[in-house]
Amino acid sequence: VTPLQRKVEDRIRRSGPLAVADYMALTLSDPDHGYYTTRDPLGATGDFVTAPEISQMFGEMIGLWCAVAWQQSGAPRTIRLVELGPGRGTLMADALRAAATLPPFRDAIELHLVETSPVLRARQHETLGDAVAGWHETLDDVPAGPMLAIANEFFDALPIRQYQRTGEGWRERLVGLGEDGRLCFTLAPMPAAPDTLPRAASVAANGQIVERCPQAEAILRTLARRLARDGGAALIVDYGPAESGPGETLQAVRGHAFHDPLEAPGTADLTAHVDFATLAACARDEGAATFGPIPQGAFLRRIGIARRLSRLLAGADENAADSLRRGYDRLIDGDGMGTLFKVLGVAAPGVGIPAGFETGRSP
Ligand SMILES: C[S@@+](CC[C@H](N)C(=O)[O-])C[C@H]1O[C@@H](n2cnc3c(N)ncnc32)[C@H](O)[C@@H]1O
């Protein structure tokens, strides 16, 4: 029994079952025992590997995308470059190296990181050092002004609420204690208020589960309001379908393998698919334009990753060339990350179509 499991069980005994979102928030971010609070989970020896940890080309291409977005935003003298959930700081280190090829952009950057984990803040400090102007708990704390924001595998870590359609209407899904004393899923006795349900509820059949991430929606609204007011653009990369739909996607991963989300909380990563269509609608509601989502592989190819690969291969020995080719294939793979992961662009009206996208939707 993990210390966090004891804490969750005590809380349930005291105040009743927890919403899935509250369980997820405790599991990931409890100040003493939360998954992200207590560890660096990334890499081969950790629990999962992300795109920037697979290849330097991922962060480099995003750095170049930012340079173009800065020019499209009127090349402001200062721009906040903001990363949400920067992990080890690898993406940003690669992006800054690429950004340095355009000195006026490099000189305009003021780097802000939004990160709640003290362990990962320390890693980011090791990687990025003095390049960081400030760390923040939330996007609201980043100073106002033109902004370029990046989020890779950030939104999938935010707590979701789940609702199930039953013969008696919609019920919120909760985490409670079973008769055997173990954590189990259960349903709220009272119906869920209709305005708390996600859009996918209207097409769900009896027994199906729908999900909603209120925190992600709130962050998108803040982001879009700021972009519309001060200028700039954002890139959101994560896994999830392009269209909203019913389905249960909460999953736990530990040691690169799937894990029971209710077993040994605090020792496995918990995530859910990102509902891109809902996030894009929130952004347009607040006055920003949206682009995509499009598959990660298509996005990277359109912004020139093949050319970057050729440049790097030209100076690489056999071992390095092999690793570059493998990284490239994983990032754009049609059966893996290249299609599973999507890229959503958000921009102030007037920025035009950001690099990598072909069309967009106005606010
Ligand atoms: C899956 S990791 C992705 C890391 C990095 N972007 C990458 O691609 O390697 C999620 C990141 O988001 C951070 N994080 C999770 N929940 C957060 C929250 N509510 N606010 C800020 N950061 C959060 C984690 O500490 C971690 O840095």
pLDDT in tens, 196-233: 999 999 999 999 999 999 999 999 999 999 999 999 99
- Ligand 1 is surrounded, with C-beta below 6 A, by 36, 42, 50, 52-53, 85-87, 91, 114-117, 120, 152-154, 157-158
% of residues, the chain, pLDDT over 90: 98
> What local confidence, expressed as pLDDT, does residue 275 receive?
97
Q: Report in angstroms the alpha-carbon separations of 86 from 124, 149, 222, 239, 289.
A: 7, 11, 19, 16, 24
- Residue 45, pLDDT > 90, answer no
The minimum-distance atom of ligand 1 relative to the CA of 29 is: 16
Rounded to the nearest angstrom, the distance between the alpha carbon of 155 and the centre of ligand 1 is 8
> What local confidence, expressed as pLDDT, does residue 334 receive?
85
What are phi and psi for residue 149, nearest 5 degrees? -120, 140
Average pLDDT, the chain: 97
pLDDT mean over 50-69: 98
Rounded to the nearest angstrom, the distance between the alpha carbon of 203 and the centre of ligand 1 is 32
> What local confidence, expressed as pLDDT, does residue 339 receive?
95
The residue with greater pLDDT, 69 or 43, is 69
> What local confidence, expressed as pLDDT, does residue 345 receive?
98
Rounded to the nearest angstrom, the distance between the alpha carbon of 85 and the centre of ligand 1 is 3
> What local confidence, expressed as pLDDT, does residue 140 receive?
98
Residue where the block lists tokens 């909460």:
250
Candidates 30, 36, 88, 269: which one to mutate for ligand 1, based on the most atoms within 8 Å of Cβ?
Answer: 36
The minimum-distance atom of ligand 1 relative to the CA of 42 is: 9
Rounded to the nearest angstrom, the distance between the alpha carbon of 87 and the centre of ligand 1 is 6
**Closest Cα to atom 18 of ligand 1:** 116
Rounded-to-integer distance, Cα 149 and Cα 223, Å: 8
- Residue 248, pLDDT > 90, answer yes
> What local confidence, expressed as pLDDT, does residue 44 receive?
85
pLDDT in tens, 154-185: 999 999 999 999 999 999 999 999 999 999 99
Integer Rg of the chain from CA: 21
- Residue 335, pLDDT > 90, answer no
The minimum-distance atom of ligand 1 relative to the CA of 85 is: 12
Candidates 115, 142, 330: which one to mutate for ligand 1, based on the most atoms within 8 Å of Cβ?
Answer: 115
pLDDT mean over 227-247: 96
Rounded to the nearest angstrom, the distance between the alpha carbon of 84 and the centre of ligand 1 is 7
Q: What is the pTM assigned to this prediction? A: 0.97
Cβ partners under 8 Å of residue 75, min gap 6: 104, 105, 108
- Residue 263, pLDDT > 90, answer yes
